[in-house]
Structure 1
Amino acid sequence: MQVEENSYNENKLRGEIMVYGVILAGGIGSRMGNTEKPKQFLLVGEKPIIIHTIEKFYAIDQFEKIIVLCPSQWVGHTQSIIKKYIKDRSRIVVIEGGDTRNETIMNSIRYIEENDGLKDDTIIVTHDSVRPFVTYRILEENIKFAEKYGACDTVIPATDTIVESTDNLKISSIPDRKHMYQGQTPQTFNAKKLKELYLGLSEEEKEILTDAAKIFVIKGEEIYLVEGEVHNIKITYPYDLRVAESLLKGDK
């Protein structure tokens, strides 16, 4: 999982690459239990989860802007907590997401197109707002891989045996674990290419989408692997909050 840096650095110096962070905060946190707000706004340590995530992105100078997308009723709240916790907000914008994950990503591309123009080399680094432990190495490698290959996905090797059941009752197959990976985020794409592929999907193809990487897979396009980290967890359940607190203490 290595990529040459020369072409990326040269293009960046020439100003040909526009890179945007796209933080997806559209979830309502139903699996977190009885909470009054979506899980991205719950506290880990002394800050909301989403603030930890935004801070990781803001530390990467390559991002022209960090676009945060959330449900319409939470846009104002998101803007308020960003104002409270982040002093320099000059590169952060908060906009409304869509009805699905991929429609939310399309909203980010629409924002870029309307405000900055969508160039051939524009790259978007899409990431779950509730993965606050993404590393700078992962973010930087996503940018480099997408610039070189057009699309990449962050993964870790599967450590458990993967069992498939097509009827949810009995085993259909047990794939070879050495070829299995667990998907994480970021997922990073050439924005113009992603838009073209998405607009070319049929309604039936859209119904089977699980994430943006699958758009490339459905259309037979290559998507490369970036090595993730075990601790790049997605905070989904109450147990994950306890794990996140422990990870945060370990970082100090």
Structure 2
Amino acid sequence: MPPQRRIDVVFDSVKRLQRIGATANLVNLLQKQHPADLADVFASLPDRNRRSVFDTLLDHNSRLAMESLAELEPEVGAAMLVDHPPDRLALLFQDLPSDDAAALLDNLPDDLSTSVIDLMRKKESGEVQHLLEYDDQTAGRIMNPNVFALAEDLTVGQAIEELQRSREVEMVFYLYVVDARRHLVGVVSLRRLLLVSPETPLKRVMTSDLISARVDTDQEEIAREVAAYNLLAIPVVDDENKLVGIITVDDVID
């Protein structure tokens, strides 16, 4: 079945199951869907039905519900959250990537957004507040600050061990290399690491000529570079060329 036809079938089924009050069947159907497909379903529902279906999923699978919400336009997603108390929102936002949380919080009423940030764990709220300091539609606002980086003095074998231990790898197709002061000095693909001897110095296999974005780069410019160079991700650096985040292709085509 073509993807769009499948989404249409899911959409019709969601409406029918909601109308007859078949909650268990509705939850079962929703939990079988990909977050991006659920976002399409949510976007097509009338506002009242959208909130009801989302809340039903939220009560049974909060992670999937929030992942789906992050696929929507931030103002649409935020509108689905405004009736929830700050303490619950704080718990939900803590499981989202910082860039997605920042986008949603930026579209909540100011008093609610402030309350949620105050209630979030210190680390997560600090990251979100930091992203909100950047101008809207810039690299700094949409980046994920939890970017994995490899030290330039590692061997390939040590780099692979670091990767295996890390829990903060969003995009493993590109592995960024930094010096002792976290200046961005190169990039290497995972495939390249797997094809050379573990004893090979990382400096020998990395590429030092790479495309990056400054934190104040406009989102549209980043989208053009991603399209022009067929990139899956782009690193973000500050004015000292220190690696501060990563933007993946889905962040700039929202």
What TM bracket, shorter-length normalisation? Answer: under 0.3
Q: Which has the higher contact order (CA 8 A, sep 6+)?
A: 1
Higher helix proportion, which one?
A: 2
Normalising by structure 2, we get a TM-score of 0.26
Normalising by structure 1, we get a TM-score of 0.26
